[in-house]
Amino acid sequence: MVMLATFWIVLLVALNAPAGNGQSVQTDPSKSGFVGDTVELRCVFINGKPPVKISQVTWQKLINGTKQNVATANPDLGVSVLPPFKDRVSFKHPAVRQRSPSTLEDTTIVFSNLRLSDEAAYICEYTTFPAGNRENMVNLTVFARPVTKMTLTSPTIVARMPKRKMPVATCMSANGKPPSIIKWDTTLKGEATFQETRNPNGTVTVRSNYIMLPSRETHRQKLTCIVTYRTDRFTDSVILNVQYEPQVKIEGFDGNWYLNRQDVKLTCNADANPAVTVYQWKLLNGSLPNNIEIKNNTLFFKGPVTYEFGGTYVCDATNSIGTRSGLVEVNVTEFPNSPPFDGREIPQEMHSSGAAIGGAVGGVALLVAAIALLVFFLRRRQRTFKGDYSTKKHVFGNGYSKAGGMPAHPPMPKNMQYPDDSDDEKKPAQISGPGGFEGGDRDFDGNSEDLKRPYFTVDEGESHDYDERTLAFQYDPEPEITDDMVSQTDGSVISKKEWYV
């Protein structure tokens, strides 16, 4: 029994000796490249110990379960590359490229000018002795960069009536593998359509149209198409060329056409694409005045304004798309209206009259200011005290002594009538005490004639007698005003010499 078990063990070792020696073929799991590029398909033989002999290496393309030879390397027969790969496939290692290669451990092949038809699974097969065949496989993927293009649906887009939506631009990513993603970037209101077409070579063409309502507002607006292909991004833009009928507006009438006004005109302004080629003027319910000159899009009214200029003026503007009209109603008044402050130009004659009126008003204001200033200084000069008042004191009144300051005053009745020449004279004052002096408690009689005088003065040091019934001041006689004296508004008198000091 022991001898039988040993026999089977030896037999199994002999049958599996090549696998046990570790021979293997190494390749990359997958490779990829773009059409027209160059790509390498690696294949390396790992020999074991004891090493085996390599009899031949063959590269094969696997298509729908069928193998197609691509290239062969044999130490005795040499190297060969079969059609249709003959001009595009070669062995990378120089030793293998020899007519009779001495070593075949590295049989990597190089694909140049890659084609979409090259996409497939490729098998690298080693034939050895006595180990037999060893092989491995690599998947080759071929990508195709798309051709991106953006165009206007038509070189010129016409906005006609009635309005309707239409495709205005097309963005296309053609013959891409894998297919691209298209997006639109614009501020225009519209919608996009998308269509994919699969081509016989395995590529995909993506087409997108942008549909919108063309109008005057969309003219010269920008449309941008963004194409994303794998990790790449392509951007293209177009500017819309929208043709539309004229949009007409008549300018020149400012609502202030009055008799005898000069140099008036009406201008027909039209926004159109293409430009207006013909302007026509007419007057509703009548014919144009005789003294009108037409130059291009402007009506020039010759001479002064008359009632004949009034009416409804119509301007017809025509381009290759159509004709549109604008109108303005002109009213003529006898006198100019007050110009509104809306930034419109004021007629020259109104400028002149306005300047004259403004100058007159300014002169009057300046004269009034000068008179007021002169009166102010004269009154101020009259109220200024000059000279030496040290010999007099105001006992009752509105003046101040120059030397003694402000004296005490008897009480003033509330209904006393004040003089009009000074605000200070309107301030009532009180003197307490008997007879009106400090220490007494009897008041002055508000109806006394003496209290009705603006003020009176008493010589310093002069004695005065009074009783409880009657306040009897001894008044100085009215000072005699001589030629060299000047009377003041407060009742005092000073010499001209002191006045002019």
The pLDDT of residue 368 is 76
Phi-psi region of 382 (alpha: psi -120 to 50; beta: other; left: phi over 0): alpha
Distance CA 457, CA 393 (A): 6
What are residue 72's DSSP bridge partners?
Answer: 58, 80
C-beta separation of 189 from 205 below 8 A: no
Q: Which residues contact 138 (CB under 8 A, 6 or more apart)?
A: 27, 28, 29, 30, 31, 41, 42, 43, 121, 122, 124
CATH topology of domain 147-240: Immunoglobulin-like (2.60.40)
- 249-333 placed in CATH 2.60.40.10: yes
155 cis-preceded (ω within 30 degrees of 0): no
Same CATH topology for 147-240 and 249-333: the answer is yes
Encoded tokens for 482: 């001589």
How far apart (Å, rounded) are the C-alpha atoms in residues 357 and 363?
A: 10
CATH 2.60.40.10 fits 21-143, yes or no: yes
Q: Per-domain residue ranges for the chain?
A: 21-143, 147-240, 249-333, 383-501
Q: Could you give the angle at the alpha carbon of 402 between the alpha carbons of 396 and 404, nearest 5°? A: 65
d(CA 120, CA 125): 16
Each residue's pLDDT tens digit, 187-240:
999 999 999 999 999 999 999 999 999 999 999 999 999 999 999 999 999 999
Q: How far apart are CA 44 and CA 46, in angstroms?
A: 6
Q: Which helix (H) or strand (E) holds 360?
A: helix 348-382
Question: What separation in angstroms does the CA of 393 have from each of 408, 411, 454, 459, 462?
Answer: 10, 18, 14, 7, 11
**What is the reported pLDDT for 146?**
96
CA angle at 395 for the pair 390 and 398, rounded to the nearest 5°: 95
pTM over 0.85: no
Q: What is the pLDDT of residue 367?
A: 80
Residue 460: the pLDDT is 39
Q: Which residues of the chain have pLDDT under 70?
A: 1-21, 339-364, 377, 379-501
Structure confidence at residue 372 (pLDDT):
80
Cα–Cα dist 65/68, whole Å: 10
CA atoms within 13 A of residue 341's CA, in its CB half-sphere: 0
pLDDT confidence of residue 407: 42
